[in-house]
A and B are shown apart, each in its own frame.
Chain A
């Protein structure tokens, strides 16, 4: 009687374990996207304030950025191959492709850190001008995300070696896939608005 007249759910509806993980993770990615939007907006506003210091044309080397972009693009397709291998239940291939992806990701982070060290040595550190502050904040936040993705990839590889392609591990692979490809989308924004448009200013 009480049950039929209740206008609220008297018990939690049944959901399969992890059935809402993908949507939840997607919403996290969207909130992360807003974080990057704020950093892009800050760079857009401050990107022309050099305080008499060096500008993008003096600092950026497009061939290096092109190599970096290629690293991230290659890592995207190799992660795709890892996902395809997981659909075919081939654990060894998944681990192999994850390893290749991690190598490309590490190369990306390495090239970026090298660029940062180079800039700071030239006296173009984040404290030099508003342009450089916003540049370092935006690009380093992206780099930090890629580094977190690499740590996640390492941990996931250990979990895969211990448990194999279980339902939970497949879910984690999907989440990391979304995270990794999402970071690639953010990088499109970075190389377009920061590097390419910077050379046109």
Chain B
């Protein structure tokens, strides 16, 4: 009885746009994650690309792709889930995270380069 009730409740939830995972979804997500993890490790460990800047850009691109794969396949994030509210919260968070990271790095980089020389730095030739 309790199980039956639980299942009814469960089905009722489905109508609100809650998305449940399926086996193919998890398997595809896992396979993609393995590839998207293995390639950046290989790029860095075997020094595949000549330039460090190119390697860094490639590694960041793989990370971004893997984050999207996890969001879609494991966290079942869809624009319509929960009536669109969770996607809105996600977008807001992404914007704040981007502002925080780029802002902090940008400001602190300039503070470092424009910092007045310290006494011990002046003693150097």
Chain A residues within CB distance 8 Å of chain B: 16, 19, 22-23, 26-27, 30, 33-34, 37-38, 40-42, 44-45, 62-63, 66, 69-70, 73, 76-77, 80-81, 83-84, 87, 89, 164-167, 170, 178, 181-182, 184-185, 188-189, 191-193, 196-197, 199-200
Q: Chain B's nearest CB lies how many Å from the CB of A47?
A: 10
Q: Chain A's nearest CB lies how many Å from the CB of B108?
A: 4
A-B contact number at CB 8 A: 128
Per-position binary interface string of chain B over residues 88-118, scored 1 when its CB falls under 8 Å from any chain A CB and 0 otherwise: 0110110011001100110010000000000
Majority secondary structure, B binding face: helix
Give the complex CA separation of A83 and B30 in angstroms: 15
Known: A165-B6, A181-B74. A22 touches B101 (CB 8 A): no
Chain B residues within CB distance 8 Å of chain A: 2-3, 5-7, 9-10, 12-13, 16, 18, 20-23, 26-27, 29-30, 33-34, 37, 40-41, 44-45, 52, 55-56, 59-60, 62-63, 66-67, 70-71, 74-75, 82, 85-86, 89-90, 92-93, 96-97, 100-101, 104-105, 108
Give the complex CA separation of A90 and B45 in angstroms: 43
Q: Is the CB of A73 within 8 A of B30?
A: yes
* CB closest chain-B residue, reference A182: B75
Give the complex CA separation of A45 and B100 in angstroms: 12
Give the complex CA separation of A197 and B54 in angstroms: 11
Q: Chain A's nearest CB lies how many Å from the CB of B93?
A: 4
* CB closest chain-B residue, reference A91: B3
Majority secondary structure, A binding face: helix
Name B44's contact: one of A23, A69, A199 (CB within 8 Å): A199
Q: Is the CB of A188 within 8 A of B56?
A: no
* CB closest chain-B residue, reference A163: B2
Q: Chain A's nearest CB lies how many Å from the CB of B100?
A: 5
